[in-house]
Amino acid sequence: MKSYFTLFLKGMGMGAADVVPGVSGGTIAFITGIYETLINSIKSVDATAIRLLFKLDIKGFWNHINGTFLLILFAGIATSVISLAKVITYLLGNHPIPIWSFFFGLIIISAILVSKQIRNWNWKVLLSGILGILTAYLVTVATPTETPEGYGYIFLSGAIAICAMILPGISGSFLLLILGKYEFILNAIKDFKLDVIAVFGMGCILGLGLFSRFISWLLAKYHDLAVALLAGFMIGSLNKVWPWKAVLSFRTNSHGEQVPLITKNILPSTYEGEPQTIIAIACIFGAIAFVYGLDYVAARGKAKLK
């Protein structure tokens, strides 16, 4: 029971990380020593597992996919996501500059730490990083604040975002930010919109089943190019989470509230209202210290294993 409870707490840590843009649940899995088990368990949901299920060999199916491990871990993740959704939604609505500053710092330091995983720098790796920066920046500029709310787009968002859960350094919430569905999904979880949660969940299942294998293959085959692309993607996305914005137009959301539709980045000196510059800087450095601390713990853990 003690080991199950510890695993549940590790799942809660992963869930907390996945709610916050910039920190990856995969990073927490790596730090807590369950990363390899998680990857192998997800990959075990294969044709053999399906055959066992159709034969009604429930015990064989459960053992094949390491079901107890996955159940307890995902229970911890779900508990954390549900409990933190209201907190993050509140902070975004009432303290936007500090929370976006914290996210800004998280992404900066995460991009730096991810880039340290590159083993051999060359012109191809550099070009891949630049391509990632340009692509992400163009996406943040081209993607409007209001994105489709149809089930198809929600399904796709889940399929893409869940891949980050098994990638140290890439945040699923960060990908939802780029897709324009971060606050939408948080609100759906907070308000228990079961249809949205179900569609998003089905997308997550597809993403874990298909994209996880592809990303694992990509990192194994073209490690440095893939890591450089991911790091560049994170740097280019900083445009999306810049704390100080001027609202150019509004829209009415499903609750009848006026929310920003089109915004532009501005300097703190031109921000209408209190720019909270000192608090923002403190939040940025606080986020950097937080992620650096996680990386330090991970480095010590690997050193002990050696």
Instruction: List pLDDT tens digits, range 158-216.
Output: 888 887 666 665 667 777 877 778 778 888 887 888 888 899 989 988 887 777 677 66
Confidence at residue 143, expressed as pLDDT on a 0 to 100 scale: 52
* Residue range of the domain that includes 113: 2-305
Q: Which long-range contacts (CB under 8 A, 24 or more apart) does 126-130 make?
A: 126/228, 128/224, 128/225, 128/226, 128/228, 128/229, 128/232, 129/228, 129/229, 129/231, 129/232, 129/235, 130/232
Confidence at residue 265, expressed as pLDDT on a 0 to 100 scale: 86
Confidence at residue 259, expressed as pLDDT on a 0 to 100 scale: 61
**pTM of the shown model:** 0.67
Confidence at residue 123, expressed as pLDDT on a 0 to 100 scale: 92
> Does 36 score more than 80 pLDDT?
no
Confidence at residue 126, expressed as pLDDT on a 0 to 100 scale: 93
Looking at the structure of the chain, the number of domains it has is: 1
In percent, the amount of the chain with pLDDT more than 70 equals: 82
Confidence at residue 130, expressed as pLDDT on a 0 to 100 scale: 93
Give the residue, 204 or 21, on which the prediction is more confident: 204
Q: What is the mean pLDDT of the chain?
A: 80
> Does 24 score more than 90 pLDDT?
no
The pLDDT tens digits of the residues spanning 243-297 come to 898 877 666 655 666 666 567 888 888 888 888 999 999 999 998 888 788 777 7
In percent, the amount of the chain with pLDDT more than 90 equals: 12
Confidence at residue 169, expressed as pLDDT on a 0 to 100 scale: 57
Give the residue, 144 or 258, on which the prediction is more confident: 258
Confidence at residue 127, expressed as pLDDT on a 0 to 100 scale: 94
The pLDDT tens digits of the residues spanning 202-228 come to 998 888 777 767 766 777 788 888 888
Confidence at residue 286, expressed as pLDDT on a 0 to 100 scale: 92
Confidence at residue 50, expressed as pLDDT on a 0 to 100 scale: 86
Listed range (63-67, 134-138, 212-216) with the worst mean pLDDT: 212-216
Whole-Å CA distances, 22 to 8, 85, 174, 248: 22, 16, 6, 26
